[in-house]
Structure 1
Amino acid sequence: MKGIVLAGGSGTRLHPLTLAVNKQLLPVYDKPMIFYPVSVLMLAGIREILIITSPEFLDAYKRLFGSGAQYGVSFDYAVQPKPEGLAQAFIIGSGFVGTDNVGLVLGDNIFFGANMSPLLQKARERAKGATIFTYHVDNPAAYGVVTLDGNGRPLKIVEKPKQPDSPWAVTGLYFYDNRVLDIAAGLKPSPRGELEITDVNQAYLDAGDLHVEPLPRGYAWLDTGTQDSLLEAAEFVRTIQHRQGLQIACLEEIAFLHGFIGRDQLLDRGHLFEKTPYGQYLLRLAAEHK
């Protein structure tokens, strides 16, 4: 399976913060925002990742991640000339995906919870259909909403319903079989001029191939699209890391524990950042696994 991180857009809700920098490069406490969605794909065991961003920020992502060898993964890069919907990622990334299945995560979404990796790998290993992840929210009208039957099967999906009949919001994390490339290519723009991811999910629902994974109680799903939510995400990460002494979205740690890199590479990264708590964490991790 290939992975895509969609990190385009103009970040208008965060102006003036994003007048000169891509939203997904903003800090969420001690890391660039994009580390968090990339970590989700790595936790799923995905090692070939495409980052899609606006033309003016492409070089910044290449400087940040390079080839990905330091994490034992491979990064490719592509441009989204202008934001025309989430489903556009599959048109831009069709050559990268090829004949594989694909996972898509939005660059401004943060996921956190115990046993996240097995949950993600279960979705990755599903050979047919689509898997979406839902989250119980108290303001579902702001999101795409899925209604489930008594057995947890999806009945319908509605984008930002005025009167939601379900509290389950669709998060910015999706896994699809290769049919998604043809589905996305055949979409017509919505009234707001975008290729909607809800229409992709609806196509799988109509075919009886849409699987829904509700994130359990105790998981956190954070959207960082506004100043307040950006600050809340940073405070959340800081609190967890300070209380537990464990990093969230530490790409080197994930790579090491999943066998993508060895201890020597982990040490090299730790020494690179040794003046920071992040680097010191990597050095401690290496010392614990002699």
Structure 2
Amino acid sequence: MKGIILAAGKGTRLYPMTKPVCKPLLPVYDKPLIYYPLEVLLQANVNEVLIIIPPGEETAFETLLGDGSELGISITYEIQSVARGIADALLIGEKFIDGDNFCLMLGDNIFYHPNLKNMIESAYDKSIGATVFGYWVEDPRPFGVVEFDQNGRAISIEEKPQEPKSNYIIPGLYFYDGQAVDIAKGLKPSARGELEITDVNLEYLKRQQLQVIPFEKDLLWFDAGNADSLFQAASAIRSLQKKGQYIGCIEEQAYKNGFISKEQMRRLGERISMSEYGKYLKRRS
């Protein structure tokens, strides 16, 4: 399966941290932020990944992740020269998508649940339409908000409403079929001057091809776009890992998928054996 990570944001809400380095390369506890969405894609059995990055960051990303061969996958890169919204990723990735089903993940979103892989299986097993997720938050106004009817079916989605119709928002994990590219081509920029992913989801809703799956309430989700959420994410990850629940380990997930062998995972751990991350890989192999 194919997956796209949109990792091209300037991270202006994190200035001055992101002046010398782009947001997806910032550390979140013991690993770069980009590791967390990449691990989610691996849990969705993605083995072809396109990472959309800002101009001038090619060397940094390639130094970190290379072409993906060490993980038994393919990683390629495209540049988003101008920030034109999340749905712009579908246009940038048109050639990569090539009419196939794919997963789109935001590069600053972190998800964790022991059963996350099973939660998203129904999304990538679907051959037609789109599947997104609902996540309950106290204040949904800064997000795309989804409204359900009494049967649990999504009936409306609003982007950043002042009077939300529910507390469920749609976080940055989306599964689409090949129609998504043509839908994105037909979008007009919003008042913010961006191509909104909510408008893509609304078109699928109009076609009665949108499935919204509410996440279990004990799932952890962080939109690591500001200093507070970055700190909260790092603190939660540290706490879980101290309890033995390791998060964001792309090498281990590649091994679980059968993309690399246990010996390959051990060798990857050997290279960074001076770190706790490397020691963990060695223990697991």
Task: Tell me, yes or no, whether TM beats 0.5.
Answer: yes
Q: What does the per-residue CA deviation read over 1:160-184, in whole Å, with 9 as the maximum and x for residues that have no partner?
A: 1101110001100000010001001
Contact 2:99/2:177 (CA < 8 Å) preserved in 1? no
Where 1:91 maps in the other structure, the secondary structure is helix
Q: Report the CA distance between 1:9 and its aligned residue.
A: 1.7
Look up the equivalent residue of 2:163 and give its one-letter code. Q
Is 1:206 aligned to 2:209, yes or no?
no
Whole-Å Cα distance in 1 between the matches of residues 250 and 46 of structure 2? 13
Is 1:13 aligned to 2:18, yes or no?
no
Look up the equivalent residue of 2:149 and give its one-letter code. D
Match of residue 278 from structure 1 = 277
Q: What does the per-residue CA deviation read over 1:210-236, in whole Å, with 9 as the maximum and x for residues that have no partner?
A: 000111021011111111111111001
Whole-Å Cα distance in 1 between the matches of residues 87 and 269 of structure 2? 37
Is 1:269 aligned to 2:268, yes or no?
yes
Q: What does the per-residue CA deviation read over 1:115-170, in whole Å, with 9 as the maximum and x for residues that have no partner?
A: 11122222111001101111000001111100001221101000011011100011
Contact 1:71/1:261 (CA < 8 Å) preserved in 2? yes
Whole-Å Cα distance in 2 between the matches of residues 246 and 120 of structure 1? 19
Q: Which moved more, 1:62-71 or 1:195-204?
A: 62-71
Is 1:143 aligned to 2:143, yes or no?
yes
Look up the equivalent residue of 1:178 and give its one-letter code. G
Whole-Å Cα distance in 1 between the matches of residues 213 and 111 of structure 2? 14
Instruction: Kindly report which structure 2 residues correspond to 1:37-56, keeping only aligned pairs within 5 A, or say none.
Output: 37-56=37-56
Q: Report the CA distance between 1:73 and its aligned residue.
A: 0.9
Look up the equivalent residue of 1:50 and give its one-letter code. L
Contact 1:9/1:82 (CA < 8 Å) preserved in 2? no
Contact 1:133/1:171 (CA < 8 Å) preserved in 2? yes
Q: Which moved more, 1:197-206 or 1:270-279?
A: 270-279
Look up the equivalent residue of 2:256 and give its one-letter code. L
Match of residue 108 from structure 2 = 108
* Number of aligned positions between the proteins: 285
Whole-Å Cα distance in 2 between the matches of residues 9 and 253 of structure 1? 27
Whole-Å Cα distance in 2 between the matches of residues 228 and 144 of structure 1? 21
Match of residue 232 from structure 2 = 232
Q: Report the CA distance between 1:48 and its aligned residue.
A: 0.2
Look up the equivalent residue of 1:281 and give its one-letter code. Y
Look up the equivalent residue of 2:183 and give its one-letter code. I
Q: What does the per-residue CA deviation read over 1:87-106, in whole Å, with 9 as the maximum and x for residues that have no partner?
A: 00010000011121111000
| Structure 1: gaps (5+ residues) | none
Whole-Å Cα distance in 2 between the matches of residues 150 and 72 of structure 1? 44
Match of residue 123 from structure 1 = 123
Q: Report the CA distance between 1:246 and its aligned residue.
A: 3.1
Q: Report the CA distance between 1:10 and its aligned residue.
A: 1.2
Where 1:163 maps in the other structure, the secondary structure is coil
Look up the equivalent residue of 2:181 and give its one-letter code. L
Is 1:246 aligned to 2:271, yes or no?
no
Q: Report the CA distance between 1:57 and its aligned residue.
A: 1.1
Q: Report the CA distance between 1:80 and its aligned residue.
A: 0.1
Match of residue 257 from structure 2 = 258
Whole-Å Cα distance in 2 between the matches of residues 272 and 120 of structure 1? 32
Aligned-pair Cα RMSD in Å: 0.8
Whole-Å Cα distance in 2 between the matches of residues 260 and 150 of structure 1? 42
Match of residue 96 from structure 1 = 96
Whole-Å Cα distance in 1 between the matches of residues 72 and 118 of structure 2? 20
Where 1:75 maps in the other structure, the secondary structure is strand
Where 1:140 maps in the other structure, the secondary structure is coil
Contact 1:45/1:121 (CA < 8 Å) preserved in 2? no
Match of residue 155 from structure 2 = 155
Whole-Å Cα distance in 2 between the matches of residues 121 and 58 of structure 1? 32
Q: Report the CA distance between 1:58 and its aligned residue.
A: 1.9
